[in-house]
Amino acid sequence: MAFELPKLKYDYAALEPHIDALTMEIHHTKHHGAYTNNLNNALKGGEWENSKIEDILANISKLPVAVRNNGGGYYNHNLFWEVMSPNGGGQPAGDLADAINQFFGSFVKFKELFSNAAMTRFGSGWAWLVKSGNELKITSSPNQDNPLMDIAEVKGLPILGLDVWEHAYYLKYQNRRNEYVDAFWNVINWDEVTRRFKA
């Protein structure tokens, strides 16, 4: 049972002007598509071929680097498309809002810390909001690594992720990662982040 590239729940242009349609299309079809195909090829015929992606990532230190890179890429982009929405933005409510206030002081402070994680990740990688036991943590990871991997510095369940690879923003923002990070706050799907928080 091979992994499949998921369909997006919104059009490529739906996140405009924050994320442009051409970036979305290339990012989904070419980048995410390649991670998916390369993951399937890397697993073919091996003992992990029919495993859940979460189990693969939890054992990534035992697997070839192609599985680490492409398995991470497959999982991370699945999450990324879902934590964005054309009706996104604003702030979370309820238990997630309470937890953000508890662990980071305020939503404003959380926004500052998460944005800082995204800005200070050198080169390609991701910024994460992670549920780790009963705690929320902010972290970042290089390349396509993520907090589900057994090699991760900060482990836990990623509930929000921001792709800071240049392929995620260069067409529209060129070198201005800060503008892309600012724009991301307008498309965050807090309902989906909350669903993951409660899972």
Residues engaged in binding Mn ion (CB under 5 A): 163, 165, 168
CB of 77 to Mn ion, least distance (A): 6
Place of tokens 């549920």: 131
CB of 18 to Mn ion, least distance (A): 16
Return the number of the residue (32 or 131) whose C-beta is nearest Mn ion: 32
Return the number of the residue (75 or 104) whose C-beta is nearest Mn ion: 75
Instruction: Please state, in angstroms and rounded to a whole number, the distance separating the CA atoms of residues 8 and 70.
Output: 19
Measured over the CA atoms of residue 30, residue 181, residue 72 and residue 195, the dihedral's sign is negative
Return the number of the residue (34 or 58) whose C-beta is nearest Mn ion: 34
CB 80 within 8 A of CB 5: no
Return the number of the residue (100 or 162) whose C-beta is nearest Mn ion: 162
CB of 28 to Mn ion, least distance (A): 9
Rounded to the nearest 5 degrees, what angle is found at the Cα of 32, between the Cα atoms of 29 and 34? Answer: 85
CB of 168 to Mn ion, least distance (A): 5
CB of 49 to Mn ion, least distance (A): 24
Return the number of the residue (48 or 170) whose C-beta is nearest Mn ion: 170
CB of 184 to Mn ion, least distance (A): 13
Instruction: Please state, in angstroms and rounded to a whole number, the distance separating the CA atoms of residues 104 and 136.
Output: 9
Return the number of the residue (134 or 175) whose C-beta is nearest Mn ion: 175
Q: Give phi and psi for 136, each to the nearest 5.
A: -105, 140
Can you list the alpha helix ranges (DSSP code H) found in 19-60?
21-25, 33-43, 53-58
Q: For the chain, how far is it from start to end, CA to CA, in angstroms? A: 25
CA distances from residue 137 to 27, 57, 132, 145, 195 in whole angstroms, order as listed: 27, 19, 7, 16, 17
CB nearest Mn ion: which residue? 163
